[in-house]
Amino acid sequence: MATPATTTAPIAPQPVSVALWLAGQGIHVHPLLPGRKIPPRGCDRCWRGPKEQPNPSYIEHDAQACPCLTAGRYCHGVLAATVDRSVIERWWHAMPGAGVGVATGKSGLLIVDVDRHAGDQPPADKILPGLQLPDDVNPATLHDGLDTLALLCEIRGVMPLTATDSTITVQTPSGGLQLWYRVDPAAPWTPSAGKLGWQLDVRAGRSYGIAPGTATPKGTYTALGTCRTVSDLPEWLAEDLLRTGHQRQVTTPTVSANWAPPKLAGGRGYVATALRGELEKVAGALNGQRSEALNSAAYYLGQFVGAGLLDRGAVHAAITEAAAAAGVDPGERKAQDTIHRGLEAGMRRPRVIGDRA
Ligand SMILES: [Zn+2]
Ligand SMILES: [Zn+2]
């Protein structure tokens, strides 16, 4: 099958093109200080300053509700992450060398972090906590997180995840790997102290990964293989995450009383349930979250349209109507563009039912 040009990352990518390309896939991005892995400091009112020398201009406030976020400023790091192209262009125009942070929770992403550093081996029972290693496995032959992950895959009877080239896989300057997986943004995973395995960590919730093209003094993050799209988290891996104490958070949005789901969202089937859930999220989105809610619903539902399970026009109309319940003017150009782009991006990646964790 020929790969559509739109799913291929640019060669020698500029951070801004990487950021825009990711946003086109519904992935929320935020800048990182040039050459560093941390977000730049926010405006004077939002930046606390170091503990030993607090910033006197800082004003105590709830970062999640900070007006800077709605104003499109990059205060509060990962909380500012966005898919808004004009905001992204503005940020990287001001800071062309800034790296690209990828917000996990907001983007419906979970990143498996595979470390590859030499280190003392843990006792056999800490390699894959809670799992009995097969008799023929000698723990002394495991060198790093890559081996731990390969062993987990072997126990689960699947190909090593790092060998399948089935999702975006980023190599860090220290040789580690970050495997990106799509999860339901309505049920984000929360990180937990419990590790998936030795040198295997998970980034989820209010955390971020680092996009390819981001440069640090130790080297540049690079995308491996040819896959430039994010796959759904394999179901077996979701089970292993739950088993190792990672949790999924389910939040129910409050929906305006004068909005009712359209007819096509009736019934109890998988598609109808997904459609109803997405529309409820849009209808219940608060000010400042609407553009993201629109984008993520359009992307997610676009995947059903791409699979021929929903009609594009009907979905577009239903999202517009749900957005109106949340206070978005149905004729607003920006909202319509967001829905249009989200649908397009989702349709490029049709959803296979049963493929989702
Ligand atoms: Zn600010
Ligand atoms: Zn603030």
Task: Give the pLDDT score at 43.
Answer: 95
The domain spans of the chain are 5-99, 107-246, 263-347
d(CA 339, CA 330): 11
Which residues are found with C-beta within 5 Å of the ion, ligand 1? 42-43, 46, 68, 75
CA 87 to centroid of ligand 2, rounded, Å: 17
CA 73 to centroid of ligand 1, rounded, Å: 7
Ligand nearest to the CA of 73: 1
d(CA 95, CA 278): 35
Count helices and strands (H / E) in the chain.
10, 13
pLDDT of 296 above 70: yes
Task: Give the pLDDT score at 262.
Answer: 77
Q: Specify burial of residue 122 (Cβ count, 10 A radius: 0-12, 13-18, 19+).
A: middle
Whole-prediction pTM: 0.69
CA 311 to centroid of ligand 2, rounded, Å: 41
Question: Do the beta carbons of residue 334 and residue 215 sit within 8 Å?
Answer: no
Ligand nearest to the CA of 59: 2
- pLDDT band per the 50, 70, 90 thresholds, residue 79: very high
CA 57 to centroid of ligand 1, rounded, Å: 11
- pLDDT band per the 50, 70, 90 thresholds, residue 193: low
pLDDT in tens, 228-283: 999 999 999 999 999 898 888 765 556 666 677 777 776 667 888 888 888 988 88
- Structural class in CATH, domain 107-246: alpha beta
CA 72 to centroid of ligand 1, rounded, Å: 9
pLDDT in tens, 324-344: 888 888 778 888 999 999 999
With residues binned 3-state (H G I as helix, E B as strand, rest as coil), the percentages for the chain, rounded to 5, are 35, 15, 50
Using alpha carbons, list the distances in angstroms from residue 341 to 26, 62, 316, 332.
Answer: 9, 31, 11, 14
Instruction: Return the residue matching tokens 């490029």.
Output: 348
CA 333 to centroid of ligand 1, rounded, Å: 27
CA 248 to centroid of ligand 2, rounded, Å: 27
pLDDT of 167 above 80: yes
CA 42 to centroid of ligand 2, rounded, Å: 7
Q: Specify burial of residue 149 (Cβ count, 10 A radius: 0-12, 13-18, 19+).
A: buried
Q: What percent of the chain has pLDDT over 70?
A: 90
Phi, then psi, of 42 in degrees rounded to 5: -80, -165
